[in-house]
Chain A
């Protein structure tokens, strides 16, 4: 019997199996941010264990609240900064170089097919787009990861999702993943890895695959995974060109992590997305999804474009294409947070930022702030945001606020109309 990608990665990283079904894995990349890591650092210090297992395998960024908004967030940033200096963590990203973790770390080339990756952040599943096993963990798992370079997981089962057909005009990776979550429901993939495949995924950019994998957790999934291929190698080439004679050689090497043809899945779901429409959530759970046809016209107070789900350059490009030469509705606040400094610079160079600003958007520095209601972009009681983020829990972006999840294109169209709107008429 063949193996899935997750099974292959588990087998290659197994350190211990203390009990049947529990696998302790060696971790290749431990990622840290300033909200969940300082408390792990404080606990390690209190235990007299202020050590790191390997400072080259630890990556850290200040991204959730940056620049700091008050004394408490300044303290969190300082704790992470001091710790990174103390342990000589070279891959540490502070003001001026910092961006949203799940956009920044892939952009720096830190993730390779076959890697194991953990972070104290539920959207760590994003990195599965590279054919890695990447999982969000709590602070204690992170602490043990920092100290020992290991983490325990249950034996993974895999749900295979084949995205068949072709995506129609105006329909993007975000719509595809909302469709998948609608299918699986919010806990349909608990203790499962979601493996994305099929012609649509094969044809997707790495950015779009990251959007897919980013929201695996919204169906309860431990990780999302895409098979590494030529697209993966093209993305990683600047970082791996010294290690391989050719891209073909890299593709051949990395393809060993792809699931075998006779791998055993917990479930296989085939979805033909050829007739998919742009989607939008309507409630407080990410599986509460409707067609934009049904949702259009609902008023919104704010449109947010950014986050680890959809703050990448291809997201900004499609939104700018819709916004070019137009103004957003006077009743709406438009906020754009390019996810990393590089994305910001590229967006400036391509003239995208000009388009957003001319349309009436406020452009912030790269940060997670608005997505989880921690800084710049918090909603007031009763306000509604059309958002390219990943989570629509009640009050997520501010107490009493409501969030509709949608694609960057649908967000841009909604900004123009001041209400949820179909992007297809603008493309």
Chain B
């Protein structure tokens, strides 16, 4: 079973869009790996440096509402994937981005605003890290000497896609 998560990257804003995740000018790349250096390049957020080791060393993203709105470009999940981020945790997602994540065998996890606030209380800890167990739908966050776990819900279909490794393999075996 694939493990999900790693060092947490906190992006404290709602409506972070696909142009901010991966600008259109890089959509001319035709391999996922070529997208790697451009992760979140156009995201302007106080205290956030897209070029920092913290950005490129992350394994999980925690953010607010309507994450991934805008374009259908799957390059947005891919730029996370090639940088080792396979889980994004948000209050809510735009539909296409959320589906793209699961279609790639990655996890887009929705939590209540209260639980998202709880996760953000770890944002100050340099060692904040998140582990996600998709099979058991549990999430554990550690950092600054604290640790807590919480349950989340994902649809049975989304879970099946993650466990199958993505939609192409799932669909090809079934339809």
Chain A interface (Cβ within 8 Å of chain B)? 15-16, 18-22, 24, 35-36, 38-39, 42-43, 47, 49, 64-65, 70, 72-73, 75-76, 79, 119-122, 124, 136-141, 143-144, 147-148, 150, 152, 154, 186-187, 190-191, 220, 222, 285, 372-374, 391, 393-396, 399
The B116-175 residues at the A interface (CB cut-off 8 A) are 155-157, 160, 166-168, 171-172, 174-175
Chain A nearest CB, measured from B4 CB (Å): 18
What chain A residues lie within 8 Å of B25 (beta carbons)? 373-374
**Do A122 and B24 touch across chains, with their CB atoms under 8 A apart?**
no
Contacts A16-B175, A148-B175; A42 near B30 (Cβ below 8 A): yes
Given contacts A147-B172, A148-B175, contact A139 B66 (CB under 8 A): no
Interface 1/0 per residue, B79-103 and A, CB below 8 Å: 0000000000000111110011001
Cross-chain contact B24 with A373 (CB below 8 angstroms): yes
Closest B residue to A49 using CB positions: B172
> Which of A43, A65, A220, A396 is within 8 Å of B95, CB to CB?
A220
Asked if B42 and A399 sit within 8 Å, CB to CB, the answer is: yes
Is the C-beta of B28 less than 8 angstroms from some C-beta in chain A? yes
Q: With A143-B168, A220-B66 as given contacts, are A70 and B19 in contact (CB-CB < 8 Å)?
A: no
Q: Which residues of B contact A154 (CB under 8 A)?
A: 155
CB nearest to B73 among chain A residues: A36
* B residues in contact with A139, CB < 8 Å: 74, 100
- Could you tell me the distance in whole angstroms from the C-beta of A231 to the nearest C-beta in chain B? 28
| Residue numbers in A under 8 Å from B73 (CB-CB) | 35-36, 138
Query: Are the C-beta atoms of B167 and A144 separated by less than 8 Å?
Result: yes
Give the number of residues in B that approach A within 8 Å (Cβ atoms).
Answer: 44
The interface residues of chain A lying within 8 Å CB-to-CB of B160 are 18-19
Residues of chain A within 8 A (CB-CB) of B29 are 72
Q: Which residues of B contact A (CB under 8 A)?
A: 15, 17, 19-20, 23-25, 27-32, 42, 44, 65-66, 69-74, 77, 92-96, 99-100, 103-104, 155-157, 160, 166-168, 171-172, 174-175
CB neighbours of B92 from chain A (8 A): 187, 190
Closest to B71 in A: A122
- Judging by beta carbons under 8 Å apart, are B28 and A65 in contact? yes
Tell me the bound Cα distance from A20 to B20 in angstroms: 34
Residues from chain A with a CB closer than 8 A to the CB of B15 are 186-187, 285
What's the Cα separation between A190 and B166 when bound, in Å? 23
Query: With A and B bound together, what is the CA distance between A363 and B24 in angstroms?
Result: 23
With a cutoff of 8 Å between Cβ atoms, the chain B residues found around residue A191 in the complex are 95
> A186 contacts which chain B residues (CB < 8 A)?
15, 66, 69
